Structure 1
Amino acid sequence: MKAALQIEITFEQILALIKSLPKKERIKLSKELEREIIDSKLSKLLETFKTDELSLETIDAEVEKVRQDIYDEQKR
């Protein structure tokens, strides 16, 4: 059986706790928060572009067109 403890903690208390951590732990926490923000933004971006209107053939055709444009540009 697990018991859950719920406490209210202010931002200032959290900040004080973070500042009391060793530098390595603060860096680790910072990277973890950054990763979480990036994941959240990426999820929102992917959701924005989610559509059933594009087929794999349409995507492939567009990729090939861009590749050809790049190739033609390099030949100049």
Structure 2
Amino acid sequence: MKTRTYIDLGFDQILDLVRQLPKKEKLRLSKELERDIINAKLTTLLKAFKTDNLDQDTIDNEVEIVRSELYAKAKAK
């Protein structure tokens, strides 16, 4: 079993460590942080839109209504 060690570092201490990294490692860290932020935002977004009240028939009906409205607008022009 792996043992994890956690170190309590402040932001400035972490920033000092990051500044010591080579460019390649800074880039890698940057990409990982970006990926982490995107994943967190996506998770929040998915949770906001999650619902049990929607089924495929409801979606199909709404799509058909919007298509009909768009067709009617295009035909009126």
Aligned-partner residue type, residue 9 of structure 1: L
Question: Who is 1:40 aligned against?
Answer: 40
Q: Identity rate of aligned residues, in percent?
A: 53
State how far apart, in whole Å, the 2-side matches of 1:29 and 1:72 are.
52
Matches within 5 A, 1:1-76: 2-63=2-63
Aligned-residue CA RMSD (Å): 2.3
- The offset of 1:52, in angstroms, is 1.0
- The offset of 1:59, in angstroms, is 1.8
State how far apart, in whole Å, the 1-side matches of 2:37 and 2:70 are.
33
In structure 2, the CA distance between the partners of 1:27 and 1:68, relative to structure 1 (3 Å rule), is farther
Query: Normalized against structure 2, the TM-score is what?
Result: 0.72
State how far apart, in whole Å, the 2-side matches of 1:68 and 1:32 are.
45
In structure 2, the CA distance between the partners of 1:21 and 1:72, relative to structure 1 (3 Å rule), is farther
State how far apart, in whole Å, the 1-side matches of 2:52 and 2:69 are.
27
- The offset of 1:6, in angstroms, is 3.4
Aligned-partner residue type, residue 42 of structure 2: L
Aligned-partner residue type, residue 57 of structure 1: D
Q: Deviations over 1:51-74 (max 9, x none)?
A: 111111222343455567778889
SS in 2 for 1:6: coil
